[in-house]
């Protein structure tokens, strides 16, 4: 099998890249190790930055998002029972975010790809990327019980943190930067209307809590738990009781309880692999970097990477200049590190670090008070949350 761009992985990065290339007349083949149902049901991110919304619309993948997504103009910070709203449009010159689940983004992109795009093979597991240093990189993969080879002009590794593409970069050329956190998030989905119409980020002496939503009838809520916690240790009532404690306010706000339909623990990690390019292999999304979910940046970073790659390849076709492709890693990493910094800061701002001293606890509260009382500090948070520029765009 032969194609222009071999894409490993059909998460948001791989699916959107295939769509962008198809719209520009560039051929691609997507290899995905899991089946379609798994790709469409995996519960993950839910907040789309303004730039991501614009890209999905421009790619012709925004119709259902515009119908069913929830535009959010702010978030609420809670601490010591106080409530403080961050007004995005007022602080950023009009920007907002969209609450639309990653599962729905993937469903929309899978449907478009199968209807209009190039091959998307499910249950096709990439085994290795080979020959990245030469002109003809290859992906060795297994599909329907047989081993096969996909020959390409370029390979883009969109295969997430545990994929194989990153392994094709020689260890001597790889630099990794990592931080593991001593806590994770216990996340639930519940059949109950959200208890607030915007996301609520709560800092509490017992730990962080987040109130979020997937739709007007489905709530998504999270609790900070120690790293390594098994979701099964938490009974449903215990989860609601703990959420109630951490989200409590001094006014008459109340948490609505409902049937919990899913429960899982997400570990928290910051990770960056440099460079994001080796020869004709390009890494995009979680294959190259991970952020803790506090800043809602993971999916949005993946979108930024594939937009940068698609623009660079189109630019090569239009002008003959490989300048943008050559700058891919550098261009992406500038934005990646801003998102890493933002996600790290949001995590430190809101979580209880078990090793924190009483002094550090007081500094954390002082930071929150600064955001609540200074327009400049609030604007910095709002700019980071609604997203860093996507760079050169067509």
Which candidate, 276, 274, 243, places its Cα nearest to that of 257? 243
160 binds ligand FAD (CB under 6 A): yes
Residue 385 annotated to the active site: yes
Question: Which of 132, 164, 168, 281: binder of ligand FAD (CB under 6 A)?
Answer: 164
Residue 137 annotated to the active site: no
**Of 22, 297, 328, 351, which one is the catalytic site residue?**
297
- Encoded tokens for 295: 């800043």
Question: Which of 31, 86, 150, 213: binder of ligand FAD (CB under 6 A)?
Answer: 31
Could you tell me which stretch among 235-243, 294-302, 309-317, 379-387 binds ligand FAD (CB under 6 A)?
294-302
Residue 263 annotated to the active site: no
11 binds ligand FAD (CB under 6 A): yes
Residue 72 annotated to the active site: yes
Which candidate, 51, 23, 44, places its Cα nearest to that of 383? 51
39 binds ligand FAD (CB under 6 A): yes
Question: Which of 49, 159, 242, 311: binder of ligand FAD (CB under 6 A)?
Answer: 159
Closer to ligand FAD by CB, 284 or 318: give it.
284
DSSP H or E stretch at residue 277: strand 277-278
The CA distance from 57 to 65, in Å, is 9
The CA distance from 120 to 228, in Å, is 35
158 binds ligand FAD (CB under 6 A): yes
The CA distance from 378 to 216, in Å, is 27
Could you tell me which stretch among 5-13, 79-87, 143-151, 368-376 binds ligand FAD (CB under 6 A)?
5-13
Residues 6+ apart with CB under 8 A from 331: 308, 324, 391, 392
8 binds ligand FAD (CB under 6 A): yes
Residues 6+ apart with CB under 8 A from 369: none
52 binds ligand FAD (CB under 6 A): no
221 binds ligand FAD (CB under 6 A): no
The CA distance from 130 to 127, in Å, is 10
H helix runs in the chain, sequence order:
12-23, 36-41, 50-58, 63-68, 88-92, 102-116, 236-247, 298-319, 323-326, 328-350, 358-373, 375-386
φ, ψ (nearest 5 deg) of residue 185? -115, 125
Binding footprint of ligand FAD, residue count (CB under 6 A): 32
**Of 12, 22, 72, 79, which one is the catalytic site residue?**
72
DSSP letter assigned to residue 4: S
Residues 229-288 that bind ligand FAD (CB under 6 A): 266, 285-286
Closer to ligand FAD by CB, 242 or 286: give it.
286
CB of 136 to ligand FAD, least distance (A): 20
Residues 6+ apart with CB under 8 A from 80: 365
12 binds ligand FAD (CB under 6 A): yes
Residue 201 annotated to the active site: yes
The CA distance from 70 to 139, in Å, is 39
Could you tell me which stretch among 20-28, 157-165, 175-183, 191-199 binds ligand FAD (CB under 6 A)?
157-165
336 binds ligand FAD (CB under 6 A): no
297 binds ligand FAD (CB under 6 A): yes
194 binds ligand FAD (CB under 6 A): no
- Encoded tokens for 394: 């067509």
Cis upstream peptide for 275 (omega within 30°): yes
CB of 155 to ligand FAD, least distance (A): 12
Closer to ligand FAD by CB, 13 or 112: give it.
13
The CA distance from 144 to 135, in Å, is 28
**Catalytic positions:** 72, 201, 293, 297, 385
- Footprint of ligand FAD on this chain (CB under 6 A)? 8-14, 31-34, 39, 44-46, 102, 125-126, 158-160, 163-164, 266, 285-286, 293, 296-299, 302
């Amino acid at each position: 099998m032969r194609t222009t761009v071999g894409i490993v992985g059909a998460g948001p990065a791989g699916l959107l890249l295939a769509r962008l290339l198809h719209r520009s007349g560039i051929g691609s083949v997507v290899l995905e190790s899991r089946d379609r149902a798994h790709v469409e049901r995996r519960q993950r991110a839910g907040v789309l930055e303004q730039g991501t919304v614009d890209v999905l619309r421009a790619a012709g993948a925004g119709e259902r998002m515009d119908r069913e997504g929830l535009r959010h103009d702010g978030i609420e910070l809670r601490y010591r029972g106080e409530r403080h709203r961050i007004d995005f449009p007022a602080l950023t010159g009009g920007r907002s975010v969209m609450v639309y689940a990653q599962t729905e983004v993937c469903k929309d992109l899978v449907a478009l790809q199968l209807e209009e795009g190039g091959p998307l093979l499910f249950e096709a597991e990439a085994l290795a990327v080979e020959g990245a240093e030469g002109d003809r990189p290859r992906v060795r993969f297994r599909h329907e019980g047989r081993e096969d080879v996909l020959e390409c002009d370029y390979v883009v590794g969109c295969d997430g943190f545990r994929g194989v593409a990153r392994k094709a970069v020689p260890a001597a050329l790889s630099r990794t930067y990592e931080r593991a956190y001593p806590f994770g998030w216990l996340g639930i989905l519940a059949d109950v209307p959200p208890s607030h119409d915007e996301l609520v980020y709560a800092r509490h002496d017992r730990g962080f809590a987040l109130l979020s939503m997937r739709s007007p009838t489905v709530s998504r809520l999270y609790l900070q738990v120690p790293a390594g916690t098994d979701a099964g240790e938490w009974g449903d009532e215990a989860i609601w009781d703990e959420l109630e404690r951490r989200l409590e306010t001094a006014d008459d706000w109340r948490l609505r309880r409902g049937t919990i339909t899913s429960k899982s623990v997400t570990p928290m990690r910051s990770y960056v692999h440099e460079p994001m390019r080796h020869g004709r292999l390009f890494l995009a999304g979680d294959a190259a970097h991970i952020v803790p979910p506090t800043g809602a940046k993971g999916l949005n970073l993946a979108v930024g990477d594939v937009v940068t790659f698609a623009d660079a390849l189109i630019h090569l076709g239009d002008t003959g200049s490989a300048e943008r492709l050559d700058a891919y890693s550098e261009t992406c990493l500038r934005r990646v590190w801003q998102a890493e910094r933002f996600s790290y800061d949001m995590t430190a701002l809101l979580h209880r670090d078990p090793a924190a001293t009483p002094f550090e606890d007081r500094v954390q509260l002082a930071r929150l008070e600064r955001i609540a009382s200074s327009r400049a500090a609030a604007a910095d948070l709002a700019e980071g949350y609604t997203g860093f520029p996507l760079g050169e765009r067509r």
